[in-house]
Each structure stands twice: as C-alpha cells, then as structure tokens.
Amino acid sequence: MTCIKEYGTVFCASNGIEALKIAEEHPPSVLLTDIRMPRMDGVALATQIRQKYPECSLIFMTAYSDETYLKCAIQLKVYRYIEKPLELASLHEVVAQAVAEQEALLASKQSRQEKERYAIKTIKNELAVKLTKLPYDNLGIANGIRLAMLPIPEPACFVTCILRLLDEESLGVLAQLDGLLSDVAARSGVRFLWGTYDTDTVLIHCYAQPEYLTPSGVRNLGELLLNQLKERTFFLAFGDVVTAMEQIPLSYQKAVCLMQSAFIRGYNQAVFPSPFPETEYVFDMADRSRFEKYLLEDRQEEAMALVGAITREVRQHTGTLSSHIKNFYYELLLVIYQMAKRRHVTFPISDNTRFLWEIVYEFATLDELADFTENKICELFEGMGPGYSQQTISILNYIHQNFSREDLSLKEISNAVFLNHSYMCTMFKRETHQTINQYITKYRVNHAIELLKNTDEPISSISFKVGYGNANYFCKIFKSIVGVTPSDYRERKQWV
C-alpha cells in the first residue's frame, strides 16, 4: 500500500489473483492493469472487478494491439486503453483523469443520496403532521406511507406522543432523534414516524403489532424514551392507544390535553392517559384578598404558607389549565409589586409591573412559578429593613465577605460567628424570615445582576465570581429568582 497525493491510496499486486484478494478488502475506484499476466490475465481480472464493482474505472496497458483485446475492452467499458511502450507523463495524465472522474461521481452520488434523504424526511414530516388532522385524508396518507416506505404491520396498533424540548440544544436533539428512536425500537418492538411542528415540538407516532402496545408496553416505551432523553429538559405526553390509522387524530388530541398537565407535573416525566378523569382546581379570589391582608399586616409566614397551600392543592388537580394557574399567580405577584411600591422596595428586575406578565408567561412549570412568587415575598420583607441583632449582622457580614466561594457552608459560618449551628439557623430565620441558604442564594444573584448590568463579562465568568462552579446550575437558580435567564436579563437591562 502506498499513499500518493494526487491519487490517494494505491495498492500493487503482482498478478490478477493477488489483485482480487486486495480488492475484496479495499474496493477499488480505479484499476490499472496489464493484459498479459501470470495466473490470471488482465481481461479476466477486469471482468470480475466489473461484476463486483461496476463503477470502477478500468485502464488497460498492453504491448499488443490485438483485436480480441480491443473488443473485450469495449465490452467491459474500459476507461482507457494504453499501448506500450508507456510514456510516464501520459500515464499520469490518464490516471489523474480517471481519479478526477471517480471523485466527481462520488460527489454526485453523495449529493443524490442527500437529496433523497431530505426528500424522505420531508415526506415523513408532512405525513406525521397530516396524521393529526381531521377529516382524515385517506388518499394523501396512503400515498405518504408508500413514498416514506413505512412497514406498517397487519394488524397494528398506534399511539401518538408529543415531545416538547425545553433546553437550548433542541436542534441537536432533533439531529440525533432517528438514532435515539432506533435504539428504542430495538428494545421495544415498536416503530416510529416522527415530525416537527417547530424547533421544539415533536410529534412521534408509534406503531406496532398489538402485543407490543398494551398499557404496560406503552409505559415501558415511555421509560425507554425517558432514558434516552435523560440529559435533556423536556415534557413528554402519550395519547390513547388506537387500533386504526384513522383514529390517530384522537390519540393526538389526548396527548395535547395531557401535555397541559406537564406544567403541573414538572420536567422530564412521561404522562400517560388515566382511567380516572383529571380534575381542575377552581381558584378562589378570596385567597387573593387574604394574601393581600397578610402582606399589609406584615405577616410573612402566613403569606408564604398560603402560597404553599395553594400550590399543593393545584398539584392534586392535574386537569387545571396552565393559563388559569398563571393568571392567579400573576394576581398574587401584582399584590406583591403594589406593596413593594408602597413600601419603597425595589426588586432586582423592576419596581413596576411592566414586564411581569411576560415573566409569568415564560415559566414552564408550576414549581418554578411558585418558587418565584415565594422569593418575591421574601424580597419584599427583606427590603422593608427589619432591625437585626448583632449576631445576625455578624452572620450577614461573613456571608458578604465569602459569598463568592462555592464551598461556603453553614458549619463554617457557625464556627466563624461562634454560634451553635441549630441556634444560628433558628435565630436567623426568625429575624430575617428566610433561611441562611436562601439569603446566600439571593445575595449571589443580586451581585450577579450588578455584574450583568455593569460589565460585559461572560456568564460563565460571572457564575464563578458569585460562587457557582457550574454555569448551567447558576442559570437555573438565577431564573428561579429573577424570572428570566442571565442572558435574557442582560438583553433587557436597558428597559429596566
């Protein structure tokens, strides 16, 4: 084997038999062969090469202008027939031309294959979307199945699931989805047709023989998909199993309904149809009035407890629409912001409600929205400036001096201020209405806000400076408190 810059990898053989053995391991693009050789001549070699590798360019070399050889060359579609004695410059030119032709052929073939793959992907995507529509388009769907070459078994069952990707790398997941679903298919006996509505919402139609899509089979399918997607952030909802393709829109509609409950259930869970009806929580505006009363009377613990109780009740009613939940928590947040304005308290994002609904609307889960609301209650009472004991001031001073260290711990703080750990935590919460860890988190986030406002430092650098070694975790904490990601906050800072 020799590598020649102009030709690529070149293999040499002393006879036709040896050349065939090499070709079996290294399929040739160009064959340059003498006609008269021991053991197997060039014509016999070229005949076998042409049968096995029909696109190979054949070049004959010979000192004999035999009519029989010329006829063989024509039959074998030989690229060039070179008579001896050879001129090396001419030989080099012929081989270079053959190599160039092979490269052009390969590029054309790859381009054609890429176009075919794109066409099939487009057909599958359109078919996946069409299967969700009513009225059912029998002719169009049958034609799509034929063009996409889908192996639908008979009999077959079907179930539709919706995958909503929520992290910033959703395009990367889509690029890998065929491979992920192939792995799941190998383990479950289920095949898939998938398509996208947009860059983060995926329709996955699952189909298989009935024994593979029993209730337990569908749950196993969900577990396999969860395992494949475990490094991502997503919602996943399954519809009902149906026994005919015409019923797939019904399965899809059920998955859409269940996707609503993902807001309550949280990230990275598979939601399945239940034999029991999902109930909806009815919000009582009297709770808003009670919440406002607690804030007016400086009763932070009761206000926090009320929000916690409402959140727990909503979790038990998974049929509650996310829009209804967001509307109610928006009302609670309006009360907090109005109270903050009355008490001259400024929040990190703004002391007005200009962007409040936009912030509420962007929350993907109930837990995040509830945490944001509770954090705003704490910020409100913290901003009203309670009088702290000297011991609490010592704790605050130590936190302010060491918050940038990722390993800052409660044990270290208690040793530094010469207080019993349990007593320190109890006293701090009694005076500040928040735990020490909650205070550290908010102090770090407030410091990060100042860096975002006043510097152009990368978010990863800011994360490190405020005590978070993991930038992704920092972004999650920041959003839970401020309501937007650090990058979104930086973009909006001119409006705040």
**Are 453 and 494 spatial neighbours (Cβ–Cβ below 8 Å)?**
no
Query: Encoding tokens for residue 185?
Result: 């298919």
pLDDT of residue 64: 67
pLDDT of residue 150: 92
Query: Per-residue pLDDT for 351 more than 50?
Result: no
pLDDT of residue 66: 64
Higher pLDDT, 454 or 32: 32
Nearest Cα neighbor of 272 from 237, 229, 242, 226 is: 237
Average confidence (pLDDT) over 221-227: 95
Gap between the Cα atoms of 266 and 318, Å rounded: 11
Average confidence (pLDDT) over 21-43: 88
User: 1-15, 143-157, 227-241 — which is least confidently predicted?
Assistant: 1-15
pLDDT of residue 495: 43
Confidence of residue 348 (pLDDT cuts 50, 70, 90): low
Prediction pTM value: 0.60
State percent of the chain over pLDDT 70.
93
**Are 213 and 157 spatial neighbours (Cβ–Cβ below 8 Å)?**
yes
pLDDT tens figures, 112-151: 878 888 888 899 999 999 999 999 999 999 999 999 989 9
Query: Per-residue pLDDT for 76 more than 90?
Result: no
State percent of the chain over pLDDT 90.
50
Confidence of residue 337 (pLDDT cuts 50, 70, 90): confident
Gap between the Cα atoms of 160 and 272, Å rounded: 11
pLDDT of residue 496: 40
Query: Per-residue pLDDT for 386 more than 60?
Result: no
Query: Per-residue pLDDT for 71 more than 80?
Result: no
pLDDT tens figures, 177-200: 899 999 999 999 999 999 998 778
DSSP, res 246: G
Average confidence (pLDDT) over 61-87: 76
**Are 268 and 163 spatial neighbours (Cβ–Cβ below 8 Å)?**
no
**Are 373 and 329 spatial neighbours (Cβ–Cβ below 8 Å)?**
yes
Question: Phi and psi (nearest 5°) for 480?
Answer: -65, -25
Query: Per-residue pLDDT for 494 more than 60?
Result: no
Confidence of residue 158 (pLDDT cuts 50, 70, 90): very high
SS3 state at 137: coil
pLDDT of residue 166: 85
Sign of torsion, CA 232 238 244 248? Answer: negative
pLDDT of residue 75: 79
Gap between the Cα atoms of 428 and 389, Å rounded: 9
Q: Which residues touch 191 (CB under 8 Å, ≥6 apart)?
A: 150, 151, 185, 206, 207, 208
Query: Encoding tokens for residue 308?
Result: 């916690």
Mean pLDDT score of the chain, rounded to an integer?
87
From residue 290, alpha-carbon distances to 44, 247, 357, 367 in Å are: 96, 48, 22, 22
